[in-house]
Amino acid sequence: MKKKPFAKREWITLGALLVLGAAACVILLAVPPGSAHAKWLPRCMFHQLTGLYCPGCGATRALSAMLHGDLKSSLHNNLLLFPLLTLIAVLIVKPEISLKRPFAIAIVAVVLLFTILRNIPVAPFTYLAPVPLP
């Protein structure tokens, strides 16, 4: 099977994603995790409105902690972030791979279960909730 080269729009999309990702990394590296300067980072609207954690709550702090080499804090802020980022990266790099329906349903089920469990205010489920902001 002959591999088809990237189309022009795919190169533009990939370039834009790389530039945006690099810019986000530079910004997150400029703000030490847990510092008072972190107050200007974006807040989760879902959490502000409901008081509940969405599947993405803590993702910015997790990425910032990972960029600063703090794996423990990164995983504590959002355990699901890096497996999902890895999956998204594989799907971008290998667009010929498509998710079969059972696998896609399993991903949605894991995200929903993670969301439910991280909102249960009893140990050990409280470890899935992100670190509170200062």
pLDDT at 8: 76
| pTM of the entire predicted model | 0.71
- The tens place of each residue's pLDDT in the chain, 134 residues long, gives 556 666 777 778 778 877 877 777 776 667 666 655 556 667 788 988 999 999 988 888 888 888 888 888 888 889 998 898 888 888 877 777 778 889 889 999 999 999 999 999 998 998 898 887 66
pLDDT at 70: 84
Q: Distance from CA of residue 50 to its chain's centroid?
A: 20
pLDDT at 2: 57
Domain residue limits, the chain = 9-128
